[in-house]
Amino acid sequence: MEPSVKTVNLTKKFSDITAVDSLSLEISQGETLGFLGPNGAGKTTTINMLCTLLRPTSGSAYICGIDAVKYPLEVRKKTGIIFQEPSSDDMLTGYENLYLHAMLYGMNKNSAEKKIKEMLFITGLEKRAGDQVRTYSGGMRRRLEIARGLLHEPAVLFLDEPTLGLDPSARREIWSYLGKIKSDRKTTIILTTHYMEEADSLSDRIAVIDRGKIIALDSPSALKSSLGEDLVFLKGKISDQALNLPFITHFEKKGEGYEIAVKGLSKNIKKLLEEAEDVSEIEIRRVSLEDVFLKLTGKKIDEEGKEESGGVFESVVRYNSVRK
Ligand SMILES: Nc1ncnc2c1ncn2[C@@H]1O[C@H](COP(=O)(O)OP(=O)(O)OP(=O)(O)O)[C@@H](O)[C@H]1O
Ligand SMILES: [Mg+2]
């Protein structure tokens, strides 16, 4: 089957900055691709070229086989975009925003009305559809923008930081709508986010982009298992023999115990505990996408906010260069 999105050496230069550097990528129909990268990596620029809002400097992009440079209008019909910055009209009602979009996309009145009703239902906004958008919460606005992006039934939906600035519960709500869209409509989704948990839970594959280039591309679990080790903290007396087991890649004395990096933890934990002399406490931290990101980009992630509800750990991430 033809890929939903295909880029071949896609490049965008802004004077002396190469924002997107010879990017080649294929995304299958119905796939959700998470685009991760530090600030300025080129995520928005890539999306804007794929949506025909920016013209590539060189290379090509195809949406459902259609050349985005040669046939931008055709490609626009196939794509929906939710921008990084809020873009609905404050003074119009939710319904009016959707209606305006439907008219811009050349939908006829009847099918527009039907689609709007359906999208308001899917995004849970029916009751507020008649209110001006300025009275909406941040989460409702984002939902409205998702409804708008999907109104003309695009084959490919681009979401640039869809949950930025939302509180954790609004963010979860958006995830569940995206999950629904993915399973009901087989829409191909390309998502950029700074929330690692978001990328992990929504994406089939993750592309890590840095300085305009893709530096890793795989499923979240493959990225984690190929690049990371789980960390185990063992409190107590730990024998040298245990610390030198072949699956231990690194250890460090910490307080009254050791922090130990273990490859293949599930398989090897038993052996480690058998060899360790006297363990009074164990703490395990599974490798996360954040660890993978740090390893790949050399950028450190500062956690700005943490939430602990239902055992879910979530963090807002910022990237700062690590001085080495
Ligand atoms: N219109 C423009 N003119 C000049 N430079 C630009 C323009 N748009 C983007 N850039 C530059 O291109 C690079 C990539 O920017 P882009 O917005 O694509 O990054 P991003 O990965 O989306 O970052 P963020 O995570 O901050 O949203 C940056 O260096 C940025 O300053
Ligand atoms: Mg961006």
Digit-coded pLDDT (tens) for 303-318: 333 333 222 222 223 3
Residue nearest to atom 2 of ligand 1 (CA): 14
Q: What confidence score (pLDDT) does residue 300 get?
A: 56
Q: What is the rounded average pLDDT of the residues 87-103?
A: 94
Say how far apart CA 194 and CA 171 lie, in whole Å: 12
Residue nearest to atom 16 of ligand 1 (CA): 42
Say how far apart CA 253 and CA 258 lie, in whole Å: 4
How, if at all, do strands 299-309 and 312-321 pair? antiparallel
Residue nearest to atom 18 of ligand 1 (CA): 42
Buried b (16+ CB within 10 A) or exposed e, 247-267: bbeebeeeeebbbbbbeebee
Q: What is the rounded average pLDDT of the residues 237-257?
A: 91
Residue nearest to atom 5 of ligand 1 (CA): 14
The span from the first CA to the last CA of the chain, in angstroms, equals 45
Question: Which residue, chain included where needed, has tokens 């990528």?
Answer: 25
Q: Which of 20, 39, 196 is the best mutation target for the ligand 1 pocket, counting ligand atoms within 8 Å of the beta carbon and taking the most?
A: 39
Mean pLDDT (the chain, rounded) = 87
Give the DSSP per-residue string, 99-145: HHHHHHTT--HHHHHHHHHHHHHHTT-GGGTTSBGGGS-HHHHHHHH
Q: What are phi and psi of 86, to 5 degrees?
A: -55, 140
pLDDT tens-place string over residues 56-66:
999 999 999 99
Protein residues whose CB sits closer than 6 Å to any atom of ligand 1:
14, 17, 19, 37, 39-45, 84
pLDDT tens-place string over residues 271-301:
999 999 889 999 998 888 888 888 888 875 4
- Whole-number Å distance, alpha carbon 39 to ligand 1 midpoint, is 8
Those residues with Cβ within 8 angstroms of residue 277's Cβ, 6 or more apart along the chain or in another chain? 236, 237, 238, 239, 242
Residue ranges and CATH numbers for the domains of the chain are 5-224 (3.40.50.300), 229-285 (3.30.70.920), 290-321 (no CATH)
Q: Are 295 and 289 in contact (CB under 8 A)?
A: no
Q: What confidence score (pLDDT) does residue 48 get?
A: 95
Say how far apart CA 122 and CA 141 lie, in whole Å: 14
Q: What are phi and psi of 63, to 5 degrees?
A: -115, 120
Specify the 3-state DSSP secondary structure of 13: strand
Q: Are 248 and 238 in contact (CB under 8 A)?
A: no
State which ligand 1 atom lies nearest to the alpha carbon of 45.
Answer: 18
Chain centre to alpha carbon of residue 72:
25
Q: Which of 44, 55, 210 is the best mutation target for the ligand 1 pocket, counting ligand atoms within 8 Å of the beta carbon and taking the most?
A: 44
Q: Which of 43, 159, 209, 318 is the best mutation target for the ligand 1 pocket, counting ligand atoms within 8 Å of the beta carbon and taking the most?
A: 43
Q: Are 278 and 236 in contact (CB under 8 A)?
A: yes
